[in-house]
Amino acid sequence: MAMIQPFKALRPQPQLAKQVASQPYDVLSSTEAKKAAAGNPASFLHVTKSEIDLPESVDIHDVLVYEQAKENITAFIKRDVLFRESKECYYIYQLIMHGRAQTGLVCVSSVDDYENGIIKKHEFTRPEKELDRINHIKTSGAQTGNVFLAYRNNESLDALIENWKKTKSAVYDFVADDEIQHTIWVVSDEAVSASITSIFEKEIPCTYIADGHHRAASAAKVRAALGANATKNADYFLTTLFPSNQLYIMDYNRVVKDLNGLTANAFLEAVAKQFDVEQLSKEPFSPSMLHEFGMYINGCWYQLTAKAGSFTEDPIGILDVTILQNNILDAILGINDPRTDVRVDFVGGIRGLQVLADRVDSGQFAAAFSLYAVTIDQLFAIADSGNVMPPKSTWFEPKLRDGLLTHLIYE
């Protein structure tokens, strides 16, 4: 069963929460982070993207960057921008985007659970991305990036969380610049905390990584590297757990740079072997069901519907990202490994579909593909089977903000 614990969060003074809260470190480039933090000395980007406080000549993976992160987080504490909770607590984190709310439980999850498969994965990780987070955690002493976990709905837990939200005051409640509302409650009652821990111990057999595979892997490797010097805190890592019925998975679309030497007509003929092809208008096409795709080429959108025989019924083969990869990207365009092939790029659904057409019309790309979003049941089925999804299969929105709740691994 899942092991979670309350923790003493490092968090901002209430009046500074909006200034501190920052977008996740891995969705911004260094240039974007520097612009976002300009004029805001309290921005947590000074910790998560600390290269913004160093000369541009310094490599973003240089030891100086990680030392700067430690220096900045220490300065935030000294300036009373951030303070450490006096007791171990759980935290309730609600996000509202476009009128739609989802509520998660912020806690620390067990590294043992991660290593023993109680926390289930669905993606491969890349060593260089792990190493960056390992160095950041070890040097700064802080897990600043939240791992986004999902669990199958539990009515008792849902009721407990909703009751706390209705009867207690939030410590943070603000609308960020992207118009997403962030509200956090502190669960400081020891009896309620014990009930939450017990529900996971007795009723929730596993959790699933929705977003944050590299952060989870890095936390486990930091503990291993510390060995006998590891503290109790290093046995756990920062997570926010959401019930599956509240999660919103968006489409994750593709653009390709060339047609592998084919003319547009020859490419369309090849596509028609495994898909029913219908020419549409210039309006972006958003698939409305599984095995339906949009394709933009030569100034026009097409609807593609996968034919019988173009996919298998196993958890991986039935995914639309797999169908597209196997039947078009690989078979026709020769893009065998989308993780490493520079001829394909990925566009999160949050950016909208018009950006796909714009990138093709710019001349930098030859074709674009819109996909139907992976479902949470598909994600669970793949994780339960021990398989992994193709890269860039899921895009979750809204994103948790960094800096609001941080887990320190050293006492």
- Band (pLDDT 50/70/90 cuts) for residue 60 is very high
Give the number of residues written for the chain: 411
Dump pLDDT digits (tens) for 281-308: 778 999 999 999 999 999 999 999 999 9
Give the mean model confidence (pLDDT) for residues 122-138. Answer: 89
Residues near 219 by Cβ (< 8 Å), separated by ≥ 6? 111, 114, 137, 143, 147, 234, 237, 238
Intervals of CATH 3.30.1760 along the chain:
252-372
Give the mean model confidence (pLDDT) for residues 321-327. Answer: 96
Dump pLDDT digits (tens) for 247-277: 888 899 999 999 999 999 999 999 999 999 9
Report pLDDT for 39: 95
- Band (pLDDT 50/70/90 cuts) for residue 411 is confident
Report pLDDT for 386: 87
Report pLDDT for 336: 92
Report pLDDT for 313: 87
Report pLDDT for 349: 86
- Band (pLDDT 50/70/90 cuts) for residue 353 is very high
Could you give the residue ranges of the DSSP H alpha helices within 273-329?
320-324
The rounded distance, in Å, linking the Cα atoms of 296 and 301 is 4
Compare 314 and 49 and report the one with higher pLDDT.
49
**Can you read off the two tokens belonging to residue 323?**
């169908």
What is the average pLDDT value for the chain, to the nearest integer? 94
Dump pLDDT digits (tens) for 193-237: 999 999 999 999 999 999 889 999 999 999 999 988 878 899 999
- Cis previous bond, 391, omega within 30: no
Dump pLDDT digits (tens) for 131-141: 999 999 999 99
- Band (pLDDT 50/70/90 cuts) for residue 280 is very high
Q: Above 80 in pLDDT, residue 105?
A: yes
Residues near 96 by Cβ (< 8 Å), separated by ≥ 6? 180, 181, 183
**Can you read off the two tokens belonging to residue 296?**
């933009």
Q: What is residue 384's DSSP assignment? A: H
The rounded distance, in Å, linking the Cα atoms of 82 and 84 is 7
Query: In 3D, which of 255, 218, 277, 278 has the Cα closest to residue 363?
Result: 255
Compare 26 and 32 and report the one with higher pLDDT.
32
Query: In 3D, which of 271, 278, 303, 279 has the Cα closest to residue 289?
Result: 303
Q: Above 90 in pLDDT, residue 93?
A: yes
Share of the chain above pLDDT 90, in %: 81
Q: By the 8 A CB rule, do 389 and 120 touch? A: no
The rounded distance, in Å, linking the Cα atoms of 179 and 14 is 19
- Band (pLDDT 50/70/90 cuts) for residue 20 is very high
Report pLDDT for 128: 87
SS3 sequence of 388-407: CCCCCCCEECCCCCECCCEE
252-372 has CATH 3.30.460 classification: no
